[in-house]
């Protein structure tokens, strides 16, 4: 299999875990207007699919894109997202589309938080 390898996600039997990069953590704190230290213990997030690469700007899809899109679409309140990020999710999250938070290009398909631990 000659697919490019990235060190930014884990694949488990239950699904995918996107590892949270420092850049993403910072960006998420900005979007949700919280202190980055609130997210210090968040190391990865279960998502229903593998990461994608933005066809426009090359950014890797990340939790920051999930958060920004949900925030802009009004899918989730900031309080809900902060709670999920800090405490984890107890059930599968709603599925929604996602835009690149850097250039606004839409990623293909839909994304959701998956509860797979
Ligand atoms: Zn982009």
pLDDT given at position 9: 93
How far apart are the CA of 104 and the centre of ligand 1, in A? Answer: 6
pLDDT given at position 90: 66
pLDDT given at position 76: 79
Q: Classify residue 62: in a domain, yes or no.
A: yes
Strand 96-99 and strand 106-111: pairing? antiparallel
- For the stretch 84-97, pLDDT in tens is 888 876 666 677 88
Q: Classify residue 117: in a domain, yes or no.
A: no
For residues 28, 70, 105, 92, the Cα torsion angle rounded to the nearest 10 degrees is 100
Q: Classify residue 15: in a domain, yes or no.
A: yes
Dist CA 10 CA 44 (whole Å): 9
| Beta-carbon count within 10 A of 22 CB | 8
Q: Classify residue 81: in a domain, yes or no.
A: yes
Q: Classify residue 1: in a domain, yes or no.
A: no
Q: Classify residue 58: in a domain, yes or no.
A: yes
Q: What are residue 70's phi and psi, to 5 degrees? A: -65, -40
Dist CA 38 CA 11 (whole Å): 26
How far apart are the CA of 67 and the centre of ligand 1, in A? Answer: 15
How far apart are the CA of 105 and the centre of ligand 1, in A? Answer: 5
How far apart are the CA of 76 and the centre of ligand 1, in A? Answer: 22
Provide the residue-wise pLDDT of the chain in tens; the chain has 117 residues: 445 566 899 988 878 899 999 999 999 999 999 999 999 988 888 888 899 999 999 999 999 998 898 888 887 788 888 888 888 766 666 778 899 999 999 999 888 876 544
Q: Provide the number of structural domains found in the chain.
A: 1
pLDDT given at position 31: 94
Q: Classify residue 39: in a domain, yes or no.
A: yes
Task: Name the residue range of residue 22's domain.
Answer: 10-111
Q: What are residue 26's phi and psi, to 5 degrees? A: -65, -45
Q: Classify residue 23: in a domain, yes or no.
A: yes
How far apart are the CA of 3 and the centre of ligand 1, in A? Answer: 21
Read off the tokens for 110: 């839909």
How far apart are the CA of 26 and the centre of ligand 1, in A? Answer: 18
How far apart are the CA of 107 and the centre of ligand 1, in A? Answer: 9
- Order of strands across the sheet that contains 15-19: 9-12, 15-19, 44-47
């Amino acid at each position: 299999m000659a697919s490019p390898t990235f060190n930014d996600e884990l694949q488990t039997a239950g699904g995918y875990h996107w590892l949270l990069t420092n850049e993403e953590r910072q960006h998420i704190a900005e979007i949700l207007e919280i202190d980055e230290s609130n997210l210090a213990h968040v190391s990865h997030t279960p998502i229903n699919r593998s990461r994608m690469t933005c066809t426009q700007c090359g950014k890797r899809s990340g939790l920051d894109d999930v958060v920004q899109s949900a925030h802009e679409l009004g899918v989730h309140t900031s309080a809900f997202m902060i709670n999920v990020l800090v405490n984890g999710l107890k059930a599968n999250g709603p599925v929604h589309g996602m835009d690149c938070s850097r250039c606004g290009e839409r990623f293909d398909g839909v994304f959701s938080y998956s509860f797979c631990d």
